[in-house]
């Protein structure tokens, strides 16, 4: 405290008082009268003016530099985004090629595996269906500009959570949807919808609101079934209570992309082997695929609609139970194809 | 008259010559500006008190600027540069305020 008082009391340089006392009179001079004194004062004030101006000019000069740096950074981000998009496209192309090659390598007579690709999410599907757009309530700082570090978490109840999406997607499956995608990401039986921090992730890829959910099915029938379903009522409740907007509409034709990160895991040679030794499932291909952990804890979109239940497929050493008639089986998960 | 002329010359020089400030000195410039302002307010107050002394003014101005910059420089070397510059700004700010108050009392008699 005394330090502050000291600063307050002695705001004027004590040199002034001392100099005045040395000169004798307390009020002898207001401004210097001699030419030399005036010149010194002028020089001093010139220095002051110069320092202050240079400071101001310098601060102004720094501004465009900062803006330039920012622009350069933005440019770099855009460039990298472009490169990433390009690579993503390349990945898709290559994946398609792999798929085609796989299809060719598989025994042609096996229509089962080929027929399953649509249902398990491996193939692009087109057909009638419903489109559901979910949007966070207004004023929740959404719209792609959510700062994941803002720290609000999902405490803001106007935001959609992972379990809302889980419920909606499960409702769609339950209402007879044959294929579902969220924001252009196809859901498979192993897809996980979960939350990490502020973001909702589907298969470990973050989603940006608004959430555009598309489901293939018998359009109007699926629509009414969903509306009468628990999930439809839940959505109405969300809209009523929290202002979360949902728009549901039947569509004549929807195209859902193939799911990514799904691999053919087991296949068997065309020629029947003499001994029915099981084709060993590659060890890596158990439960942790890029498709996410299928364990229920953090929420898995399970598909009652899909006829292949991956949990069954995985637990069974396939060859034992099935006749080795050169069949191939498509499942989701990681692993290798064995021709 | 000469004093005002000096001030104008200083501003003009700063504006038009735009001396290249070395990068090493740039961080201390704002502090130096605050110190300079403190010296100016002190000088004006001394003038109104009737005890102005040109030599004291010049010396106090130069030493203020140098010491303020030095303190911040030292702080930077010790890793507490921002804290020390805050301290310098607080002390100088208090002085500027109380000097400004004294000037106001002189000018407006209130």
- Indicate which of A1, A3, A39, A45 best probes the interface with B, i.e. most B CBs within 10 Å of its own CB: A45
Q: Between chains, do B14 and A59 touch, taking CB under 8 Å as contact? A: no
Q: Are A148 and A198 in contact (CB under 8 A)?
A: yes
The answer, yes or no, to whether residue A152 has pLDDT greater than 60, is no
**Separation of alpha carbons A153 and B62, rounded Å:** 53
| Orientation of helix B54-78 relative to helix A14-23, angle to 10° | 150
Q: Is the peptide bond before A210 cis (omega within 30 degrees of 0)?
A: yes
Gap from B107 CA to chain A (nearest CA, Å):
14
- Residue A250 has a pLDDT of 85
Confidence of residue A78 (pLDDT cuts 50, 70, 90): very high
**Separation of alpha carbons A48 and B6, rounded Å:** 9
Provide the 10 A C-beta neighbour count for residue B107. 10
**Separation of alpha carbons A176 and A59, rounded Å:** 65
C-alpha dihedral sign at A236, A210, A190, A109: positive
The answer, yes or no, to whether residue B35 has pLDDT greater than 60, is yes
Q: Are A274 and A326 in contact (CB under 8 A)?
A: no
Q: What is the pLDDT of residues A168-214, one digit of tens each?
A: 888 888 888 888 888 888 888 888 888 887 788 888 788 887 888 99
Confidence of residue A319 (pLDDT cuts 50, 70, 90): very low
- Residue A82 has a pLDDT of 95
Of B3, B13, B52, which has the smallest distance from its Cβ to A50's Cβ? B13
- Residue A305 has a pLDDT of 40
Highest mean pLDDT among A79-83, A118-122, A320-324, B27-31: A79-83
- Residue A85 has a pLDDT of 94
Where in chain A does DSSP place strands (E)?
A: 125-135, 179-182, 185-186, 193-196, 199-202, 205-206, 211-216, 245-256, 266-267, 328-329
Confidence of residue A317 (pLDDT cuts 50, 70, 90): very low
Q: Between chains, do A12 and B30 touch, taking CB under 8 Å as contact? A: no
**Separation of alpha carbons B95 and B87, rounded Å:** 12
- Residue A5 has a pLDDT of 82
What would the DSSP string read from start to end of A132-188?
A: EEEEPPTTSS-SS---TTS--TT-STTS--HHHHHHHHHHHHHTT-SEEEETTEE--
| CA A165 centroid distance within chain | 14
* Beta bridge pairs of residue A201: A194, A206
- Residue B45 has a pLDDT of 87
In a domain, B14, yes or no: no
The answer, yes or no, to whether residue A330 has pLDDT greater than 80, is no
- Indicate which of A20, A36, A37, A46 best probes the interface with B, i.e. most B CBs within 10 Å of its own CB: A46
**Separation of alpha carbons B27 and B47, rounded Å:** 32
- Residue A107 has a pLDDT of 62
The burial of A312, by beta-carbon neighbours within 10 Å (0-12 exposed, 13-18 middle, 19 or more buried), is given as: exposed
The answer, yes or no, to whether residue A68 has pLDDT greater than 50, is yes
Confidence of residue A282 (pLDDT cuts 50, 70, 90): very low
- Residue A189 has a pLDDT of 81
- Indicate which of B21, B51, B106 best probes the interface with A, i.e. most A CBs within 10 Å of its own CB: B51
Residue predicted with more confidence, A258 or A326: A258
Number of folded domains that form chain B: 1
The burial of A263, by beta-carbon neighbours within 10 Å (0-12 exposed, 13-18 middle, 19 or more buried), is given as: buried
Domain coverage including residue B30: 22-108
Cα distance between the two ends of chain A: 85
In a domain, B13, yes or no: no
Return phi, psi of residue A231, to 5°: -65, -40
- Give the 3-state secondary structure of residue A206: strand
The answer, yes or no, to whether residue A55 has pLDDT greater than 60, is yes
Highest mean pLDDT among A67-76, A101-110, A153-162, A198-207: A67-76
The answer, yes or no, to whether residue A54 has pLDDT greater than 90, is no
In a domain, B39, yes or no: yes
The answer, yes or no, to whether residue A283 has pLDDT greater than 50, is no
Q: What is the pLDDT of residues A12-22, one digit of tens each?
A: 877 788 877 77
Of A7, A38, A57, which has the smallest distance from its Cβ to B94's Cβ? A7
In a domain, B59, yes or no: yes
- Please report, for chain A, the start and end positions of each structural domain, with discontinuous segments joined by +: 34-105, 125-256
In a domain, B9, yes or no: no
**Separation of alpha carbons B31 and B68, rounded Å:** 6
Confidence of residue A84 (pLDDT cuts 50, 70, 90): very high
Q: What is the pLDDT of residues B53-109, one digit of tens each?
A: 888 888 888 888 888 888 888 888 888 888 888 988 998 899 899 889 888 888 888
Which positions in chain B touch A60 (Cβ < 8 Å)? Answer: none
Return phi, psi of residue A296, to 5°: -65, -30
In a domain, B48, yes or no: yes
Q: Between chains, do B21 and A58 touch, taking CB under 8 Å as contact? A: yes
Task: Please give the CATH superfamily to which domain A125-256 belongs.
Answer: Protein of unknown function DUF881 (3.30.70.1880)
Interface pTM, i.e. ipTM: 0.75
**What integer is the mean pLDDT of A261-284?**
59
In a domain, B3, yes or no: no
Return phi, psi of residue A215, to 5°: -135, 135
Q: Are B95 and B46 in contact (CB under 8 A)?
A: no
| Orientation of helix B29-49 relative to helix B54-78, angle to 10° | 150
- Residue A79 has a pLDDT of 95
The answer, yes or no, to whether residue A31 has pLDDT greater than 80, is no
Nearest CA among B16, B89, B104, B68 for reference residue A49: B16
* H or E, element range at B41: helix B29-49
**What integer is the mean pLDDT of A306-320?**
37
């Amino acid at each position: 405290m005394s330090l502050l008082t000291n600063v307050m009391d002695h705001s004027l340089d004590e040199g002034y008082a001392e100099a005045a006392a040395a000169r004798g009179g307390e009020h002898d001079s207001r401004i210097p009268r001699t030419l030399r004194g005036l010149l010194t004062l002028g020089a001093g004030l010139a220095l002051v003016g110069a320092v202050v101006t240079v400071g101001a000019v310098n601060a102004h000069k720094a501004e465009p530099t900062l803006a330039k740096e920012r622009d350069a950074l933005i440019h770099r981000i855009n460039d990298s985004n472009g490169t990433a998009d390009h690579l993503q496209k390349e990945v898709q192309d290559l994946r398609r090629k792999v798929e085609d090659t796989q299809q060719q390598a598989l025994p042609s007579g096996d229509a089962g595996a080929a027929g399953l690709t649509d249902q398990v999410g491996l193939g692009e599907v087109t057909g009638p269906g419903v489109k559901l757009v979910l949007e966070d309530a207004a004023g929740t700082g959404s719209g792609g500009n959510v700062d994941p570090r803002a720290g609000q978490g999902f405490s803001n109840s106007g935001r959609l959570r992972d379990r809302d999406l889980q419920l909606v997607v499960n409702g769609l499956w339950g209402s007879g949807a044959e294929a579902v995608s969220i924001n252009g990401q196809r859901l498979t039986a192993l897809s996980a919808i979960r939350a990490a921090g502020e973001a909702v992730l589907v298969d470990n890829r973050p989603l940006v609101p608004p959430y555009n959910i598309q489901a293939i099915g018998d359009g109007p029938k699926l629509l009414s079934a969903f509306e009468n379903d628990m999930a439809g009522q839940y959505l109405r409740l969300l809209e009523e209570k929290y202002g979360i907007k949902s728009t549901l509409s039947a569509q004549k034709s929807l195209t859902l992309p193939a799911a990514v990160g799904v691999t053919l895991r087991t296949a068997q040679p065309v020629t029947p082997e003499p001994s029915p030794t099981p084709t060993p499932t590659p060890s890596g291909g158990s439960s942790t695929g890029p498709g996410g952990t299928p364990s229920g804890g953090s929420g898995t979109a399970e598909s009652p609609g899909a006829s292949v239940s991956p949990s069954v497929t995985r637990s069974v050493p396939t060859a034992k139970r099935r006749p080795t008639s050169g069949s191939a089986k498509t499942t989701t998960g990681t692993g290798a194809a064995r021709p | 008259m000469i004093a005002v002329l000096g001030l104008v010359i200083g501003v003009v020089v700063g504006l038009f010559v735009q001396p290249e400030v070395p990068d090493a000195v740039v961080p201390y410039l704002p502090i130096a500006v605050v110190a300079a302002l403190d010296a100016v307010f002190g000088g004006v107050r001394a003038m109104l008190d009737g005890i102005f002394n040109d030599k004291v003014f010049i010396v106090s101005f130069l030493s203020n600027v140098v010491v303020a910059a030095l303190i911040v420089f030292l702080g930077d070397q010790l890793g507490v540069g921002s804290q020390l510059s805050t301290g310098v700004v607080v002390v100088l700010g208090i002085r500027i305020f109380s000097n400004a108050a004294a000037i106001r009392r002189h000018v407006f008699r209130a």
